[in-house]
Structure 1
Amino acid sequence: MFDPKAIRKSFPVLDQKVNDEPLVYLDNAATTQKPLSVLTKIQRYYETDNANVHRGVHSLAERATADYEAAREKVRAFIHARSTKEILFTRGTTTSLNWVAKFAEQCLRPQDEILLSIMEHHSNLVPWQQVAEKTGAKIQFVGLKNGELDMEALKNKLSDRTKFVSMTQVSNVLGCINPVKEIAQLAHEHGAYMVVDGAQSTPHMAIDVCDMDADFFAFSGHKMLGPTGIGVLYGKEALLNQMNPVEFGGEMIDFVYEDHSTWTELPWKFEAGTPNIAGAIGLGAAIDELSALTMTDVAAHEHELIRYVMPKLRAIEGLTIYGPLDDEKRSSVIAFNLAGLHPHDVATALDMEGVAVRAGHHCAQPLITRLNTEVGATARASFYIYNTKADCDKLVEALLKTKAFFSF
């Protein structure tokens, strides 16, 4: 049985007061908290196995290498990739998407097109802007319809000039879940590569990169119970073999001559230098935690919270909620504004009640501009495995207190 009250006991950070109020942590889209199992695994690595990986033959190095590569296999199984050769460890989603953008520079020519949605995080927009400047390719944007991706517009914008389609699976503002499997099929019909930003989906739902037929898929460890500074880029093996390494140096070479070098095999040709060993091991422990809960139950729990809290939020006069009208099409992200208040003031007032939410443009300024929020920002509450219906009630109560305090 999925029991968030029992789950939260494994998260020491949640057992505290903020401004003399019990902490209600609702900033999970930014980063999630870390369970004892992850913290212990990282600590044990540093206490007992701290050594560099792959090259050493002493016992510590062999144990560290075994744990590091075991984490890669856990990632492979978690997202249902075919081979660990397709799993590259990076610093996070941003780095992963930048690596794909560098590959795009190898492929794109003037008049080629890159198709994005208007809801993209800056990490899946700014790198493509740089690629467009360097190659002469053009960026096309797909807009919104009823708080969701406009699929008819997407179909109309796809053409044989489209070479890359890069889209988030779940919006970090709207909370909408995009049909990436359908989009990938449409992209491939036009000969385009499909790139998926999975930062907001991988922590919250079952992922099968083969079933969705993504050419590339990126996500971060810290949004799914893991440590910061570790992420993953999945790529189809044939494409990764075509890609040039982004960084050069030790670990990623086969042989170095005086005038040239050759690269080692996948996945290590992309992992120059000493990798984030503790981060990868911590991510592996996080995957163990989520796998024990099952991602089906994680998604079901979050949808239960959304179904519970949305009617209560909609009943608050002056509260505007952004995203899909159908709650069944939502993830656990809720962006909102209170009329007459800047979201930073709302977030500050909620913090005084112990409720932690995010406020700002959420690294999605084109989307915020398109939403016409007037203040160029929203507040955002986002839920995870350790949140409860009591947390939902506290959010609603804190918003009503905020309204009363500012007397409108």
Structure 2
Amino acid sequence: MIEKELMFDVEKIRKDFPILHREVNGKPLIYFDNAATSQTPQQVIDCIVDYYSRYNANIHRGVHTLSQEATNAYEEARIKVQQHFNAAKPYEIIMTSGTTDSINLVANGFSAILTKGDEILVSALEHHSNIVPWQMLCEQTGAILKVIPMFESGQLDMETYTSLLNERTKLVFCNHVSNALGVINPIAFIIEKAHEVGAAVLIDGAQASPHIKADVQALDVDFYVTSAHKICGPTGVGVLYGKEEWLLKLPPYKGGGEMIDQVTFEKTTYAGLPHKFEAGTPNICGVIAFGAALDYMNNIGFETIAAYENELLHYATEKLLAVGDVTIYGTGKKVSVISFNIDNIHPYDIGTIVDKLGIAVRTGHHCAQPIMDFYKIPGTVRASFSFYNTKKEIDTFIEAIKKAKMMLS
């Protein structure tokens, strides 16, 4: 750990990210919207170029050399994902188009399992993509959606959660980290308690994955989902980890090529895992590039990344509170996300001004309207930091916030 920290050189790392060297509105880009999507290192960009330059071909279907090379690279990437999340078997890793696709795959599968009166629990901290599919599922099946409430701190009410669990509870859904607040949820406890009543658990790891290396076997989680573009990879690629026993129970999500065993006009039989859930030509290049992104981040080390980002979080929090009239939403154990407002100033106005100064932050409800309704606010300014950000950038950001406050007060 100490050796890795000594080797951590943020200026050297920044050289790997071409976009960090551009200007926005005549100012050096400061990118603090990492919770929405991370930036891409040159090593991953090179991987994408190499695929399209040397072996662009469809996978699993051709005997020719290019197809075999593409297939091998694609399946090697799957193994990298398996190893990263410590899944028991490669075929427990299903490649999707993103976290939302992964969630919908599971929701679609459970539409054939749930019956009227079954209950499913979802936390009050969820992104819309982990609310809407379950509402649709309840409409289809007659299941009942119940909500795990939150406290003012942004933490979930675990006492109420345990009281909601019963023999009718079939599914529990919760994010590992709140995308709107950065709060880390006690997912090990949530999983353990759900399993005591026989319920399955899906964890949305989209916001956790850039900061925390989840061990799905140690967590004993049934489903874990995330997106490559949160972890220095390309957009349009996601992961569904599912325990083999659950993936075998769920029916296919989409029909088409690759997910079949035998097709006749009378009957079709389906392929085994993981192909059962991977119909059609996938984002081959994106999956291969995702493998390269995991290599890149694991080479730096997730413990090293977390330690550095935590330092940025505390530095920025202290500086921001010193500005005055600032409310930060979400306290306790967090990743490097600060969601805040300045008294009597709309977050959109702050975001617009700091953008003119070359600083990218996210403003609005962050696809988490129930959280904003809880706080009775229209939205927040969200600054989210990554391992390639610096304290100097934070200093510039704080000066921009002061300027915005002065202009808008």
Same fold (TM over 0.5): yes
SS of the aligned residue for 2:112 comes to: helix
Match of 1:365 in 2: 369
CA distance in 2, matches of 1:394, 1:159: 51
Match of 1:310 in 2: 317
* Structure 1 residues 264-343: aligned runs within 5 Å: 264-324=271-331, 326=332, 329-343=333-347
Which of 373, 382, 385 aligns to 2:384? It is: 382
* Structure 1 residues 190-209: aligned runs within 5 Å: 190-209=197-216
Which of 371, 394, 397 aligns to 1:395? It is: 397
SS of the aligned residue for 1:396 comes to: helix
SS of the aligned residue for 1:100 comes to: helix
SS of the aligned residue for 2:229 comes to: coil
CA distance in 2, matches of 1:386, 1:12: 12
CA distance in 2, matches of 1:127, 1:142: 17
1:214 aligns with 2:227: no
8 Å contact 2:109–2:252 — kept in the other structure? no
CA displacement 1:118-174 (0-9 Å, x = unmatched): 110000000000011111111111111222111112112112221100000000011
The AA in structure 2 aligned to 1:44 is D
CA distance in 1, matches of 2:295, 2:65: 24
% identical equivalent positions: 49
Match of 1:81 in 2: 87
Identify unmatched segments of 5+ residues in structure 1.
none
Tell me how large the CA RMSD over aligned residues is: 0.9
The AA in structure 1 aligned to 2:353 is A
The AA in structure 1 aligned to 2:140 is K
Q: Aligned residues, how many? A: 402
* Structure 1 residues 17-32: aligned runs within 5 Å: 17-32=23-38
SS of the aligned residue for 1:349 comes to: helix
1:330 Cα deviation from its structure 2 partner? 0.9
The AA in structure 2 aligned to 1:281 is I
CA distance in 1, matches of 2:390, 2:53: 35
8 Å contact 2:170–2:198 — kept in the other structure? yes
The AA in structure 2 aligned to 1:396 is I
1:298 Cα deviation from its structure 2 partner? 1.2
Match of 2:3 in 1: none
Match of 1:261 in 2: 268
CA distance in 1, matches of 2:206, 2:193: 22
CA distance in 1, matches of 2:384, 2:69: 37
Match of 1:91 in 2: 97
CA distance in 2, matches of 1:56, 1:246: 25
* Structure 1 residues 233-244: aligned runs within 5 Å: 233-244=240-251
User: Normalising by the residue count of structure 2, what TM-score does the alignment of the two structures yield?
Assistant: 0.97
Identify unmatched segments of 5+ residues in structure 2.
1-6
CA distance in 2, matches of 1:16, 1:107: 51
User: Normalising by the residue count of structure 1, what TM-score does the alignment of the two structures yield?
Assistant: 0.97
SS of the aligned residue for 2:201 comes to: strand
CA distance in 2, matches of 1:148, 1:6: 36
8 Å contact 1:333–1:380 — kept in the other structure? yes
Match of 1:354 in 2: 358
1:238 Cα deviation from its structure 2 partner? 1.0
CA distance in 2, matches of 1:108, 1:89: 25
Match of 1:54 in 2: 60
SS of the aligned residue for 1:218 comes to: strand
Which of 71, 78, 81 aligns to 2:77? It is: 71
8 Å contact 1:205–1:298 — kept in the other structure? no
CA distance in 1, matches of 2:257, 2:213: 35
